[in-house]
A and B are shown apart, each in its own frame.
Chain A
């Protein structure tokens, strides 16, 4: 058996009262592709941040190839051969691709950066990740998210890692790029590089990894070889309890009166004539590859975009909201749970209570002043309804786990009493347990008569949750699937604009 290249013993880490990791013993063998599984709050992010030198453990020891090490910064870890690719990319938007790839240790001449050598290096590395179409001189901000992730991977490769850590590194990639990453990891494995792989996508994990480790509540539960546990077993290890059906049952498909009618919606070059109907009590999914206009459609309906053309009728009234403020207060109230909860959904340093009331100020007032009793009641109701696990509502929302944070965003909007709810990839980066709760909540809200527009980058969710799915391609709806028609094949082929199945 190959010796462990990375070994953690008795690692503990606390943050202001939260126990992120507790007495963790973990080992990864050299040359393995090692998956790290667990809900958010299980400690995976903290674990890899400690290995990568971003955080320092309160207790415990790290050994690299048998020798004890202690990293004060990612730079030190990088020098020792541990390279990490984080979910929040470590790229600098205002610098060029070539600058980013060789950022901390560029080729030098007379002490100054050698631009030409840097350019060549970038070209080589981009070729290795099959992204020759990216121009190294382009500013990073001009690239799409999936291209940026590939640049991040190229950058990591360039540092010649002994241990490569990938944290949700494929979440925004196109199918082709994902395949490239798989191939790459295979090549690295052959070279003896160890890969630590965090992903919430089980099929990816199963395709790639030879060893799996499950974490739960800050503790290491078990490490086992691929294939020695069933999926159900794995989920049980992660959640710690019997897992019921992942998705709540769907009602039989039926025709509904549209609450929202969209005709030929156009905006810049992102929306080119979107037409769809959204009825009361139904969950309409938005499918398609990333960046086909799904996010823009939701922003348009919520009043964020200017210069939108086309016809929209909401609740019998013509026209769209002109701002989020009017969208939520309009004749038909609309709510949007945005893509990035940390910068768009929450005010992180404010308390849970302050975040929960942020959309419903008019509901906590008596006259011109705030009624503290009403406010407290609204907060309590929100926390109970969504089962938000927290110490006290006065705690900063940044202390919550990702899943609980997302629940705060949803609770905030439910306090408004919306009739149309737009959800922009609400379960991205969230643990399985909370995902289930959100699916159940969506179905409950639909049963109450609300109209739900749901965008997800995960086919399984679209299949499991939605009554209908509108697949977008290049800014318009190219196919609508209803009920039984919603299958993975149908979704994939529609996303790629492959001809209709007979």
Chain B
């Protein structure tokens, strides 16, 4: 336990920061600590959180994926076309969307591994291709997403059960402790538990960390480097696809907006950094990025309740971001052996 704490003090710090910010936010909010506000916050946080989680994979290997925002946009456009009709069609549509994200990530992985191109520039290019494909599918914003789906996944567990007639329409006793939890949070929790934890615990997942920490040593140790890189990018694409799927359901539409995609990508990197994961790779994890994304979101929520002049909003956002990442810099200023600053 001690070792974990000593190694993860950045994560602990991020967690503390988030809890503090979120508590303060609810205290200041006229209707804070209520389910309605929690649900709204959760809905608005899912996409960026999933993207931050997606971005974590390449960052762990010491690289970056600049296409995550574009892949999310692409998959949301695909979803906006497919998520309607009967339950089978909807489930199939979801599967296709997620598969599309994963396949795009797989393609990224192939280009990086077999093309031996640096991830940052390869994904810059593939991101453009993704946006282009998104524009082909959805030249104008719009789409057709099942209403029930939209309602069920953007509200509480009770609403979900009620919409689909499960657990006595949400009134079953065993469900009661959970009824007020927003469904988006359950989805995020599910992704972490069902996707990330197993991945981290297998050799491929361990190899991802090893690559970021010491790629040469990882090769000499006989770790499956190529397999891990491709898996990491595929998983990143899959998670971006999850983000796109949710975005489509939440907004009930698809919008191939290049600027928005770029903003999401850069925000995903900011979230990863805020969560304490180092851009050099080797340390950190999805949960840290989840916290980082939450911090980013909470900061933007403050604008609504603090009644700041909307014209000042971008400025304050930027300053807060700079301040947040500068906190980690204090360590650099106090370092006693300057050699440690340089790689």
**A contacts B directly in the complex (CB < 8 Å)?**
yes
Stretch in A17-25, A232-240, A300-308 touching the partner: A300-308
Residue B7, interface by CB 8 Å:
yes
Stretch in A93-101, A249-257, A434-442 touching the partner: A93-101
Contact partners of A74 in chain B: CB under 8 A: 219-222
Residue A259, interface by CB 8 Å:
no
Q: Which residues of chain A from 126 to 150 have a CB within 8 Å of any chain B CB?
A: 135, 137-139
Distance between Cα atoms of A139 and B209 in the complex (Å): 13
Known contacts A92-B218, A304-B338, A306-B335; is A104 also within 8 Å of B213 by CB? no
Contact partners of A382 in chain B: CB under 8 A: none
Q: Is the CB of B338 within 8 A of A95?
A: no
Distance between Cα atoms of A95 and B212 in the complex (Å): 11
Chain B's interface: helix, strand, loop or mixed, by majority? helix
Contact partners of A267 in chain B: CB under 8 A: 336
Residue B282, interface by CB 8 Å:
yes
Known contacts A94-B282, A112-B202; is A139 also within 8 Å of B220 by CB? no
* Cβ-defined partner of A89 (8 Å) among B7, B217, B223, B282: B217
Contact partners of B198 in chain A: CB under 8 A: 112
Distance between Cα atoms of A96 and B212 in the complex (Å): 15
Q: Is the CB of B213 within 8 A of A93?
A: yes
Distance between Cα atoms of A105 and B206 in the complex (Å): 11
Q: Is the CB of A90 within 8 A of B206?
A: no
Distance between Cα atoms of A267 and B214 in the complex (Å): 30
Q: Is the CB of B202 within 8 A of A305?
A: no
Separation in Å of the B4 CB from the closest CB of chain A?
8
Which residue of the partner chain B has the closest CB to A78? B222
Q: Bits for B182-226, please: 1 = Cβ < 8 Å to A, else 0.
A: 000000000000000010011100100110111011111111100
Distance between Cα atoms of A268 and B216 in the complex (Å): 32
Residue A113, interface by CB 8 Å:
yes
Q: Is the CB of A305 within 8 A of B221?
A: no
Which residue of the partner chain A has the closest CB to B335? A306
Distance between Cα atoms of A54 and B202 in the complex (Å): 24
Q: Which residues of chain B from 270 to 292 have a CB within 8 Å of any chain A CB?
A: 282-283
Contact partners of B224 in chain A: CB under 8 A: 75
Q: Is the CB of A305 within 8 A of B206?
A: no
Q: Is the CB of B209 within 8 A of A304?
A: no
Residue B3, interface by CB 8 Å:
yes
Contact partners of A135 in chain B: CB under 8 A: 3
Separation in Å of the B8 CB from the closest CB of chain A?
11
Distance between Cα atoms of A139 and B5 in the complex (Å): 12
Q: Which residues of chain A from 332 to 369 have a CB within 8 Å of any chain B CB?
A: 344
Contact partners of A174 in chain B: CB under 8 A: none
Residue A103, interface by CB 8 Å:
yes
> Which range contains the number of B residues in contact with the other chain?
20 to 34
Q: Bits for A255-273, please: 1 = Cβ < 8 Å to B, else 0.
A: 0000000000001100000
Residue A91, interface by CB 8 Å:
yes
Distance between Cα atoms of A112 and B199 in the complex (Å): 8
Contact partners of B338 in chain A: CB under 8 A: 304-306, 323
Known contacts A112-B198, A305-B336; is A103 also within 8 Å of B223 by CB? yes
Distance between Cα atoms of A113 and B219 in the complex (Å): 20
Q: Is the CB of B213 within 8 A of A304?
A: no
Known contacts A304-B338, A305-B336; is A112 also within 8 Å of B214 by CB? no
Q: Is the CB of A112 within 8 A of B213?
A: no
Separation in Å of the A259 CB from the closest CB of chain B?
25
Q: Bits for A76-90, please: 1 = Cβ < 8 Å to B, else 0.
A: 001000001010111
Known contacts A92-B210, A95-B209, A103-B223; is A113 also within 8 Å of B202 by CB? yes
Which residue of the partner chain A has the closest CB to B60? A94
Contact partners of A268 in chain B: CB under 8 A: 336
Distance between Cα atoms of A104 and B282 in the complex (Å): 16
Residue B311, interface by CB 8 Å:
no
* Cβ-defined partner of A94 (8 Å) among B213, B216, B223: B213
* Cβ-defined partner of B220 (8 Å) among A90, A95, A112: A90
Q: Is the CB of B282 within 8 A of A93?
A: yes
Contact partners of A344 in chain B: CB under 8 A: 339
Distance between Cα atoms of A323 and B341 in the complex (Å): 13
Which residue of the partner chain A has the closest CB to B218? A92
Residue A299, interface by CB 8 Å:
yes
Distance between Cα atoms of A74 and B219 in the complex (Å): 7
* Cβ-defined partner of A96 (8 Å) among B3, B201, B336, B337: B3
Contact partners of B223 in chain A: CB under 8 A: 75, 103-104
Known contacts A112-B201, A113-B203, A305-B337; is A75 also within 8 Å of B222 by CB? yes
Separation in Å of the A230 CB from the closest CB of chain B?
36
Q: Bits for B109-151, please: 1 = Cβ < 8 Å to A, else 0.
A: 0000000000000000000000000000000000000000000
Known contacts A90-B217, A92-B214; is A306 also within 8 Å of B209 by CB? no
Q: Is the CB of A94 within 8 A of B209?
A: yes
Residue A499, interface by CB 8 Å:
no
Q: Is the CB of B216 within 8 A of A104?
A: no
Q: Is the CB of A95 within 8 A of B222?
A: no
Contact partners of B339 in chain A: CB under 8 A: 299, 304, 344
Q: Is the CB of A88 within 8 A of B336?
A: no
Separation in Å of the B323 CB from the closest CB of chain A?
25
Contact partners of A78 in chain B: CB under 8 A: 222
Most chain B CB within 10 A, of A74, A92, A95, A137, is at A92
Contact partners of B203 in chain A: CB under 8 A: 104-106, 113
Q: Is the CB of A95 within 8 A of B336?
A: no
Separation in Å of the B296 CB from the closest CB of chain A?
25
Residue A227, interface by CB 8 Å:
no
Which residue of the partner chain A has the closest CB to B202? A112
Most chain A CB within 10 A, of B219, B223, B224, is at B223
Distance between Cα atoms of A75 and B221 in the complex (Å): 7
* Cβ-defined partner of A92 (8 Å) among B3, B213, B337: B213
Contact partners of A103 in chain B: CB under 8 A: 206, 210, 221-223
Contact partners of A304 in chain B: CB under 8 A: 337-339
Known contacts A113-B203, A304-B337, A306-B338; is A92 also within 8 Å of B221 by CB? yes
* Cβ-defined partner of A139 (8 Å) among B3, B212, B217, B335: B3
Contact partners of A86 in chain B: CB under 8 A: 220
Distance between Cα atoms of A94 and B335 in the complex (Å): 20
8 closest A-B pairs by beta carbon, nearest first, are A75-B222, A90-B220, A94-B282, A94-B213, A112-B201, A104-B222, A92-B210, A90-B217
Listed A/B pairs (23) with beta-carbon separation below 8 Å = A74-B222, A75-B223, A75-B224, A88-B217, A89-B217, A90-B217, A90-B218, A92-B218, A95-B209, A95-B210, A96-B3, A103-B222, A103-B223, A104-B222, A104-B223, A113-B202, A137-B3, A139-B3, A267-B336, A268-B336, A299-B339, A306-B337, A307-B336
Interface residues of B (CB under 8 A from A): 3, 7, 198, 201-203, 206, 209-210, 212-214, 216-224, 282-283, 335-339
Known pairs A88-B217, A93-B214, A99-B206 / 6 extra A-B pairs, C-beta < 8 Å: A88-B216, A92-B210, A94-B282, A104-B222, A267-B336, A305-B336
